[in-house]
Structure 1
Amino acid sequence: MTLAGLTPHRLVQALDRFNAAHPWDHNAHYHRWILRQLPRRFGSALDVGSGTGDLARLLATRADEVRGVDSDPAITAQARALTPEPTAASFAVADALTDLPAGPHDVITCVATLHHLPFTEALDTFREHMAPGGILVVVGLYRPRTVTDHLLGAGAVLPNAALGWLKNRGRAAAPPTSMTARTRPADMAFPDIAAEAHTVLPGARLRRRLFWRYTLTWRRP
């Protein structure tokens, strides 16, 4: 049966099967974008929810020191094992609200982690750990609620399949190492995220993105 002959329900099922066979890391897709928001060189960086350490290792190409923190001991051990020596990146098990390295940090990043935390309290904590002039970059998940949200989600379905095909060179594949930990769904809608972020971080820039993500950037005065 061709795609044209599929019902909407069967089309969704077919795409789900295709995506499962050609997985790719939606969070890592934004890592290069994150680097474009940052200076060419900076001192201290903190990656909150560092997972297997992919972003922290990228930050280490520009930073004097990168601290990656995650609440999962197993995935933190994996990040250490995947990180060659010598490197500017180090990893620790830490609570994102109570145990962050003191800093102050010139850069703080947080990818697909903020929706696991009390939103306002987490942004307050990040702000307190930033150096003057420091940059916060968040890639987060939101709960679709508006027509715009649903249209953007629908528009991402085919590009998602196409990128899965290209990144896996047309072959079926196992999920990347960075995708082995499951992320729970977000419970905040984008308008609520934006409203609270602007209260805590005046001047923050937020934008809905493809692949069911949003971005937030903020520079501390």
Structure 2
Amino acid sequence: MIERARGHARVPGNVTCLEADYLADGALPESAFDFVSAVAVVHHTPLAEAVTRLTRLTAPGRRLVIVGMAANRTPLDWLIRACGVPASLLHARRNGGKHGPVGMPMEDVHLPWAEIRRVLHRLLPGCTVRRTLLWRYVMVWDRPREGGP
């Protein structure tokens, strides 16, 4: 995935793509990054630990974005997911089928929406959490310039 990001034609010259274990102490410098993103990553680890580590990487006054996945548990969850199926099928058809990068590990999603929202709002006051199609969500948080997590 990192090679794919580095090779992307639209990556600006002032962007550096790094590959490191964000959960390992000292693997990446704390408070050093203007923009931190985690796409389909945090469900592979305990949510609170992942979010705490990602916030430590984000520089004061800068942004953390998580595109995550949540499990459907309630009838409303399943209804919202069903509404996204036509769009998902259309997208797959337009793009030659539904597939991920070769070798991409797959993981079941265990935490339900309500729990994810609760954890994110507790750890990141002021964050916005928006549900998107199917089982995905987008969380955006701007680290305070002073204080805060």
Larger relative contact order, structure 1 or 2 (CA cutoff 8 Å, min sep 6): 2
Name the CA distance, whole Å, in 1 between partners of 2:116 and 2:33. Answer: 24
Match of 2:86 in 1: 158
What TM-score do you get using the length of structure 1 for normalisation?
Answer: 0.57
Q: 1:52 to 1:102 in 2, by over 3 A?
A: closer
Does structure 1 residue 210 correspond to structure 2 residue 100?
Answer: no
Considering only aligned residues, what root-mean-square deviation do their CA atoms show, in Å?
2.4
Tell me how many residue pairs correspond in the alignment. Answer: 142
1:97 to 23, 36, 50: 23
Does structure 1 residue 131 correspond to structure 2 residue 56?
Answer: no
What TM-score do you get using the length of structure 2 for normalisation?
Answer: 0.82
Does structure 1 residue 201 correspond to structure 2 residue 124?
Answer: yes
Name the CA distance, whole Å, in 1 between partners of 2:27 and 2:17. Answer: 9
Match of 1:192 in 2: 115
Moved more, 121-130 or 56-65: 56-65
Unaligned runs of 5+ in 1: 1-50, 70-93
Q: Which has the higher helix share?
A: 1
Partner amino acid for 2:29? A
Name the CA distance, whole Å, in 2 between partners of 1:156 and 1:64. Answer: 35
Partner amino acid for 1:156? G
Name the CA distance, whole Å, in 2 between partners of 1:201 and 1:63. Answer: 30
Secondary structure at 2:18 match in 1? strand
Identity of counterpart residues, as a percentage? 27
Does the 8 Å contact 2:2/2:18 carry over to 1? no
CA offset digits 1:144-200 (Å, max 9, x no partner): 0122210111112222111111122xxxx6845x25413211110111011111111
Name the CA distance, whole Å, in 2 between partners of 1:123 and 1:142. Answer: 15
Does structure 1 residue 64 correspond to structure 2 residue 14?
Answer: yes
Does structure 1 residue 116 correspond to structure 2 residue 44?
Answer: yes
Secondary structure at 2:21 match in 1? coil
Moved more, 158-167 or 51-60: 51-60
Secondary structure at 2:138 match in 1? strand
